[in-house]
């Protein structure tokens, strides 16, 4: 019953949104009719909107880039069958960068010369960074479904960059905020498994904690993955009198750590990442898993747009969509929505629209902050309760 209600509600919301879009378009046309003095608006209206799609479409990392092309193709096909964007047809310009920075600059130059209005891409952080300078000079907005390097948005170097994926440090930020704001801890131990993923997260968490006067990092250690036991590290945590452990790593080490802590009669709170938000963790750690916190991507499995997008993909390509498909779908929708609502492909107008208008996407209803990160996309906190991960609202 609840589920049905949710679906109807979403449907109503969709209709309402569609109404808004039509309304916005109408408004814009009136506006442009008023402003006939401006350079050739009539011709511009017939010209198609050129949507660039850049990323790895061949080579080792093609599996990361192809789903983005498919997402764009699906949306463009659907939109063009209806009315395009504000009566303008949408044209796809697909360019390959094989995820290499040196190729990405050429890809970007090609898209700019071909007259792309907006770009979905690139896929890899390194290639994205290389291409962004070129788009910036030409006043083109780029939106990546997958580039997670924090500096891309946070440095402020690329005001033309947006993304529909949370940055690498988003999980660490959430873990630290949760430990300090909700649980109000003062002494925190940060551990990691020495791997790229775990250590990266732990370093961010440590940095955030050190910049916050409310808590101190009482222990910062890397543990050896696969070691027969962790009793020495567990004793060290105990001696540090930490109230919580923030662990960056995967579930095999996490379950050993939690089990050994509980065996030594320690009730230290355990907070970890989406490497631990896995049912295997609960299965292996058993009763010791109870109460463990872990961050994980916001659940999109009941989002009607996501369900529709996946169905369309299966119908068109006969298989389950690949990596970042929903993020790419969201990016394409967000860009086309901004073009539709503002009726323009002008850089300043689009920037304003992206940052002010909410748009319904497979990832939820989102808009973008000034730096270009999506608000409403990202991670949620989960806790193991009665053998299941349950979202913690705070």
Collapsing DSSP states into helix, strand and coil, what is residue 49?
strand
Nearer to another protein, 44 or 187 (CB): 187
The CB-of-346 to another protein minimum distance in angstroms stands at 52
Q: Is 77 near another protein (CB under 8 A)? A: no
Contact range with another protein by CB under 8 A, out of 40-48, 71-79, 230-238, 292-300: 230-238
The CB-of-390 to another protein minimum distance in angstroms stands at 21
Nearer to another protein, 284 or 365 (CB): 284
| Contact pattern from residue 274 through residue 313 relative to another protein, giving x for each residue in contact according to CB under 8 A and a dash for the rest | ------x--xxxx---------------------------
Q: Cβ contacts of residue 249 below 8 Å, gap of 6+?
A: 191, 192, 193, 195, 197, 198, 223, 225, 272, 273, 275, 276
Give the C-alpha separation, 340 to 344, whole Å.
7
| Contact pattern from residue 186 through residue 215 relative to another protein, giving x for each residue in contact according to CB under 8 A and a dash for the rest | --------x---------------------
Asked if omega into 383 is within 30° of 0 (cis), the reply is no
Nearer to another protein, 288 or 382 (CB): 288
Q: Is 222 near another protein (CB under 8 A)? A: yes
Residue from 233, 257, 336, 381 in contact with another protein (CB under 8 A): 233
The CB-of-218 to another protein minimum distance in angstroms stands at 14
The CB-of-191 to another protein minimum distance in angstroms stands at 9
Q: Cβ contacts of residue 326 below 8 Å, gap of 6+?
A: 71, 300, 306, 309, 310, 362, 363
CA separation (Å) from 251 to 54, 157, 215, 281?
Answer: 35, 36, 26, 5
Query: Where would I find the beta strands (DSSP E) of the chain?
Result: 49-55, 90-96, 118-120, 141-144, 161-163, 187-192, 216-222, 244-248, 269-272, 293-297, 359-361, 364-368, 374-375, 379-385, 388-391
User: Could you list the residues that contact another protein (CB under 8 A)?
Assistant: 194, 221-224, 226-229, 231-233, 235-236, 239, 251-252, 255-256, 259, 263-266, 280, 283-286
């Amino acid at each position: 019953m609840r589920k049905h209600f949710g679906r109807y509600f979403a449907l109503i919301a969709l209709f309402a949104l569609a109404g808004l879009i039509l309304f916005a378009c109408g408004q814009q046309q009136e506006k442009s009719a008023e402003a006939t003095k401006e350079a050739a608006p009539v011709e511009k209206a017939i010209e198609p909107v050129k949507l660039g799609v850049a990323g790895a479409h061949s080579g080792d990392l093609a599996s990361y880039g192809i789903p983005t092309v498919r997402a764009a193709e699906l949306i463009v096909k659907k939109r063009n069958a209806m009315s395009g964007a504000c009566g303008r047809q949408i044209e796809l310009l697909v360019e390959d960068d094989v995820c290499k920075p040196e190729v990405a600059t050429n890809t970007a130059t090609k898209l700019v010369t071909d007259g792309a209005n907006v770009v979905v891409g690139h896929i890899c952080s390194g290639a994205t960074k290389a291409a962004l300078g070129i788009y910036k000079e030409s006043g083109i907005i780029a939106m990546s479904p997958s580039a997670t390097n924090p500096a891309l948005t946070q440095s402020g170097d690329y005001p033309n960059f947006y993304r529909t994926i949370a940055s690498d440090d988003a999980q660490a930020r959430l873990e630290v905020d949760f430990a300090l704001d909700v649980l109000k801890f003062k002494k925190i131990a940060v551990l990691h498994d020495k791997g790229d993923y775990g250590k990266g997260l732990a370093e961010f968490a440590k940095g955030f904690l050190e910049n916050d006067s409310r808590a101190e990092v009482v222990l910062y250690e890397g543990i050896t993955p696969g070691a027969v036991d962790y009793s020495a590290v567990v004793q060290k945590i105990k001696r540090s009198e930490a109230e919580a452990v923030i662990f960056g790593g995967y579930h095999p080490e996490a379950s050993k750590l939690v089990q050994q802590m509980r065996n030594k009669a320690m009730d230290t709170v355990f907070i970890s990442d989406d490497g631990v938000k896995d049912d295997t963790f609960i299965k292996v750690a058993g009763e010791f898993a109870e109460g463990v916190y872990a961050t994980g991507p916001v659940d999109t499995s009941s989002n009607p747009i996501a369900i529709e997008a996946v169905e369309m993909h299966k119908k068109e390509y006969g298989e389950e969509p690949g990596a970042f498909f929903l993020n790419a779908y969201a990016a394409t929708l967000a860009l086309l929505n901004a073009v539709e609502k503002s009726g323009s492909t002008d850089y300043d107008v689009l920037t304003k629209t992206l940052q002010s208008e909410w748009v319904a996407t497979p990832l939820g209803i989102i808009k973008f902050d000034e730096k270009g990160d999506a608000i409403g996309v990202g991670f949620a906190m989960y806790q193991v309760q009665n053998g299941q991960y349950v979202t913690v609202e705070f």
